[in-house]
């Protein structure tokens, strides 16, 4: 029997104009962790499709429940402060178009997600996210500032460790350690 491939998908939009945007946090993170985990047997996917068509790039790799169990999707989350991550499993898309596309394409929600916080926060740690659909879109499609990109780069060590733990020791242990 051929073992299932471990797959980590970094969501984002293609094209130069999107490279450093907040909506590309998943793709940016996967580029960082790919270097850290290159000796692992993991396939890293950075879809060349726009966010709302991400499922088209992921579906060909998911043929069974076992494949789903070895899928991790990394993406931006406006509800989390920059520098924070949250691991979840078997949840709805929460309105995230990229995730919604994957759920529809693989016909299941039963996969692990690592959400990457992209919002500024108050000194007490509460997120300060924009109000209104247009403001949210403008914010997500806006570029990270240099210090924010540095924060993501530092966070990539933690995300790489979480990915490794998910694949080696299981999602439940990873959630208990990294969701704090």
Tokens found for residue 160: 């790489």
Among 18, 23, 32, 96, the active-site one is: 23
What is the tally of helices (H) and strands (E) in the chain? 7, 5
H or E segment and range at residue 162 = helix 146-169
d(CA 89, CA 74): 12
Provide the CA 171 distance to its chain's centre, in angstroms: 15
Active site residue 18: no
Q: Give the residue numbers marked as catalytic.
A: 23
């Amino acid at each position: 029997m051929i073992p299932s491939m471990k797959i980590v998908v970094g969501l984002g939009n293609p094209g130069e104009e999107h490279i450093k945007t907040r909506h590309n946090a998943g793709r940016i993170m996967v580029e960082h962790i790919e270097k850290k985990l290159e000796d692992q047997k993991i396939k890293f996917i950075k879809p060349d499709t726009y966010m709302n068509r991400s499922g088209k790039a992921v579906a060909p790799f998911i043929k069974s429940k076992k494949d789903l169990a070895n899928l991790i999707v990394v993406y931006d989350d406006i509800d989390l402060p920059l520098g924070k991550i949250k691991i979840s499993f078997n949840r709805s898309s929460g309105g995230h178009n990229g995730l919604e596309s994957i759920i529809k394409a693989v016909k299941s929600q039963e996969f692990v997600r690592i959400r990457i916080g992209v919002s500024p926060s108050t000194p007490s740690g509460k997120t300060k996210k924009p109000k209104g659909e247009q403001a949210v879109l403008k914010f997500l499609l806006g570029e990270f500032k240099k210090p924010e990109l540095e924060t993501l780069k530092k966070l990539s060590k933690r995300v790489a460790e979480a990915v490794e733990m998910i694949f080696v020791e299981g999602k439940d242990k990873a959630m208990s350690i990294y969701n704090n």
